[in-house]
Every structure is written in structure tokens, then in C-alpha cells.
Amino acid sequence: MEIIPKLPVAEWIDNATEWTTDTFEFLFDFIKQDFGDFIEFFAEDLLMAIPIWLFIAVIAVLAFFVSGKRFGLVAFSVIGLWFISNQGLWEELMNTFTLVIFASLISVIIGVPFGIWMAKSKTVQTILTPVLDFMQTMPAFVYLIPAVAFFSIGMVPGVFASVIFATPPTVRFTNLGIRQVSKELIEASDSFGTTGAQKLFKVQLPMAKTTIMAGINQTVMLSLSMVVIASMIGAKGLGQTVITGLQRADVGTGFVAGLGIVILAIIIDRFTQNLNTQKGQ
């Protein structure tokens, strides 16, 4: 005999999801259609229109300057991208790159303002901290459920799930970076009569940019880690090839696609880390 009846939590969640889907159907349809078309245009029309050799050359030039005119990152980028192209996975790479770019940009656009808000208000920090804990500890697969409910299948729900999973580091590191700015600098800026906006944009954010960039790096990496999971709900890219290899027990295909993800991850990670190093100097 149960002392306390079972709480119908699953039913509450189902009802809340159904209500949200019905109430904001116009918004979800707009995002799914228009944003989805834009993502498809960016990946399949814009990026795929760039010749492979030109894309690799541009990345090599950027790597040369980002790395401080060292050739290690240049060589790895060129060889890695050439390998992916050689394996016939260039289109999948462009789709994966698109998902990571859009998920990361949206996460940063959302995360930095919320991080600033947390740094400015202890109340907001108290409220958002458990929310961020929840977002980071909830299994990533769970985010696929509301993503499919709101946006059906495709790239858009993949981006949506990635944004939820990848946003917390930017929020946390922005909050941490601003809070770590020395009190002496804050007092000095106050003594010169700076406004709140001036203090934020001319003192706090410049001093916190190294920490913020570290958070952005983590956000980009988490977005990339969602590639395979997002492919389970129709997101195109290298993750889809990995899933196909798994379903067909095709070890070679899955391994090559996974290696492509690793190559992309290393290139993006080195780019963001070197940018952070340069900004911190």
C-alpha cells in the first residue's frame, strides 16, 4: 500500500508540452519553415557553392594568422579537411559545420546577456544557477523530445536541442568573468563618474573577455558534441553517417565519419583557443 499516491508528473509534462505546442504553433511553424529554409540555404547552397580547394585555402590562411603565423594548425587544417573531402563526406561536413555555427551563435547571443544579468543581480544568480545545473545534468537525449514536439524533425530541432545543452557554459563563464573583475578597478571607474553601461562595456567586459571566450569555447564544443545525438531526429551531417554505420554495423563508415567529427572539433577548438590567447594578451 502506497503511503503517498504517485504524482502524475509525466502527465503534467505531457499536458504542458501539448499546451505549449498548441499555443505557440504559429511561432514554431514560422521558425521551422523560415529558419529551417535559411539553414538549408546556408549549408547546401552557400557553403556547397564554395569550391573545396577555396574553402580549405581560406581556413589555412585564417589558421596561419590565428595561430600567430605558426604552421602546425595550418598543416592539420589542410590535411584534415582534405581527408574529409577525400572520403566523400564534404557535404556532411558542411551540414555539421552549419549546425555547430548556428547553435553556437544562438547560445552566445542568449548566454552573454544572461551571464551579465547574473553578475549584476544576486537574486538572478540564485534563480538561474539551479536552472543551469538542470540544463547541464539532464541527459542530452531528453532534449530531443520537446525539440521534436515543437519542430518535428530536421536541422531546426537539432539546433534547438543543441542550444539548450550548450548555453550554460557561456552564461556561467560570463558571470564568473565579470564577478572576478577587481574591486579596485570598479571603484576607480566609479570615481570617474562612469555610467553603468560605460563601466560594463569599457571596464568589466574587456577585463572578463578571456574568461568569457573560454566559456564560448566550451559552448562550441558542446554544440559539436550534440552532432550525433541531433542526427537521431533528422539533423543532417556527419552524425547521421555515424548513426547509419551503427544501424548497419558498418564499422568503417561510422569510424571515418567519427574521425571527421574529431578533425572538425580539433580545428574549431584550436581556433577558439588561439583567439582567446590573442585576446588575452
Rounded to whole angstroms, how far apart are CA atoms 205 and 200? 6
pLDDT by residue for the chain (281 residues), tens only, comes to 456 777 788 888 888 888 888 888 888 888 888 888 888 888 888 888 899 999 999 999 999 988 877 888 899 999 999 999 999 999 999 999 999 999 999 999 999 999 999 998 899 999 999 999 988 888 888 888 888 888 888 888 889 889 998 999 999 999 999 998 888 888 888 787 778 788 888 888 888 888 999 999 999 999 888 888 888 888 888 888 888 888 888 888 889 999 999 999 999 988 888 877 665 44
Rounded to whole angstroms, how far apart are CA atoms 261 and 223? 12
Cα dihedral 246→249→252→257 (10° resolution) = -10
Contacts with 206 (C-beta within 8 Å, 6 or more apart), sequence order? none
Do residues 226 and 140 lie in contact, with contact meaning Cβ atoms separated by under 8 Å? yes
According to the model, what pLDDT value does residue 278 have? Answer: 60
Cell triple for residue 246? 551503427
CATH superfamily of 9-49+87-280: MetI-like (1.10.3720.10)
Rounded to whole angstroms, how far apart are CA atoms 45 and 226? 23
According to the model, what pLDDT value does residue 90 have? Answer: 92
Phi/psi of residue 108, nearest 5 degrees: -70, -40
Rounded to whole angstroms, how far apart are CA atoms 257 and 161? 21
